Structure 1
């Protein structure tokens, strides 16, 4: 286990930190979509399997594999494990989409909630994220916590409401994960040169590879390189990466680690985040009733949170405390 795990970076940040550590020591992480989400497995330098995991999408499946392989000590594993998706929730979420796909379903859920006059709020919950769906009257419809992106938590929360789950299931359609499953495409995920690299393989041959700011972004970019996805979606995705200013001062931390740090501070100082859908996942940062920031993302709302900080007055979002230990009265 890395010596410097930082729980303020959340389960997502920890997953990426462990991935960086084991990538440097020759372990291989692989993933494959299946009807109920994504399976992940880790092999050691000699090719022996050391841990497996499954969850509704790539990163939490990899984190479970890291835990099962013993790369986190018992104390860290005990803190994080409750935020992995339980088997029952995995099955319910898969009824709405499956095969590791959570973004389009979350987009429809969020749009439906806002269209009905409700709202969707995000906040930190220990090393995880909690999402609350509210009705037009301000009553809580349902909430759920996830170790990863709020998009995952939206899927989990909504799947627990039978009427929402049935409505989403009625809109279910083929997706890229299903096509990869049918073709037997697998992914190899590694941390190199301070970013995530993903290669997609079919029949032992690499059909696409790319990199990104986290496991999800790198995987989708590799899918685009392999020819998956619609031209419309791929253009939208590229446009987001074109506009993202973070790439010009990349600090070697995953997008989830950065988003978690921001959300943790916001939760402490009473600043709230609402998630809605426009062309992109959009977050509004609220201090009281005043909107002090707005940001966009594509695959997860962590990216939208980071984007909001970069596009807004960060002091209004993070509300800095007086400097500690400053040697002047």
Structure 2
């Protein structure tokens, strides 16, 4: 099967099966399942400014390239760039992946595709000061808003892949908070940086209706996990 036939096969298999209410996350996983059924996979790797990604067909050819602030949105962006969606859905997904615009600003705080640590720090700071975090559904993604103790909006992030990505993308839009978190995390261990320096890749596919992740260094599998989603499988694979 040549590359374009591969993409066309996946796209046709999903006609009428993609719904806005499944959002970016559900859509990404549904497409990954079809890619996997045909022998393909999604590959990501850490970079200083976030995550690089590619979609491989059953022959190992690259049929889509992308980038993002962390693994899942980078994979979805590669799917969009690879032509796995009809034009109307493609345009809707691009509107819902605006967090890509803030990649460098997000990376400046911590970097290498690591978002959970700064997000946890942001929640701690906002909640600790009596504020709250609101998550709103927007398009196929979500929008995150930081609200202070008086009910005033501190910052509103771009439409993003999921609540975690959305929160990470909102932090740079609250300069004082961003500076505080950046200082707090300065010098902290960053496993994404370690993976980048070692040239490690994350390979994602479906097995037995679950997401399977292999962590590879120079082609050798050094970690693996099978979990419910891309993010969870990737995190667990790093420690197994």
TM-score by length of 2: 0.90
**Could you give the per-residue CA deviations for residues 3-35 of structure 1, whole angstroms, max 9, x where no partner exists?**
311210101110110101111112221110111
| Secondary structure at the counterpart of residue 192 of structure 2 | helix
Asked if structure 2 preserves the Cα contact closer than 8 Å seen for 1:185 and 1:200, the reply is yes
Structure 2, unpaired ranges of 5+: 1-10
Residue 134 (structure 1) aligned with residue 147 (structure 2): yes
Cα distance in structure 1, aligned partners of 2:18 and 2:196: 34
Within 5 Å, give how 1:292-307 maps onto structure 2: none
1:147 match: secondary structure: coil
Residue by residue over 1:196-255, the C-alpha shift from the partner in whole angstroms, topping out at 9 and shown as x without a partner, is: 000011111100111111100000110010xxxxxxxxxxxxxxxxxxxxxxxxxxxxxx
Cα distance in 2 for residues equivalent to 1:160 and 1:79: 24
Structure 2 Cα separation of the partners of residues 88 and 72 of structure 1: 21
| Correspondence 1:9-88 to 2 at 5 A | 9-88=22-101
Aligned to 1:191: 206
Q: Could you say which residue in structure 2 is the equivalent of 1:224?
A: 239
Offset of 1:111 from its aligned partner? 0.9
Q: Which has the higher contact order (CA 8 A, sep 6+)?
A: 2
2:160 equivalent to 1:176: no
Q: Give the alignment's Cα RMSD to 1 decimal.
A: 1.3
Q: Name the CA distance, whole Å, in 1 between partners of 2:141 and 2:68.
A: 15
Structure 1 gaps of 5+ residues are 226-329
> Which stretch shows the higher mean deviation, 13-22 or 119-128?
119-128
- Partner secondary structure for residue 58 of structure 2: coil
How far residue 58 of structure 1 moved from its aligned partner, in angstroms, is: 0.2
1:84-123 pair list within 5 angstroms:
84-123=97-136
The farther-off stretch of 141-150 and 16-25 is 141-150
Please say which structure displays the higher CA radius of gyration. 1
Task: Tell me how far apart the structure 1 counterparts of residues 41 and 100 of structure 2 sit (CA, whole Å).
Answer: 25
Q: Which runs of 4+ in 1 moved over 4 A?
A: none
Deviation of 1:77 after TM superposition, in Å, equals 0.8
SS in 2 for 1:146: coil
For residues 162 and 196 of structure 2, the distance between their equivalents in structure 1, rounded to whole angstroms, comes to 23
Alpha-carbon distance in 2 for matches of 1:220, 1:92: 23
Residue in structure 2 matched with residue 201 of structure 1 by the alignment: 216
Number of residue-to-residue matches in the alignment:
225
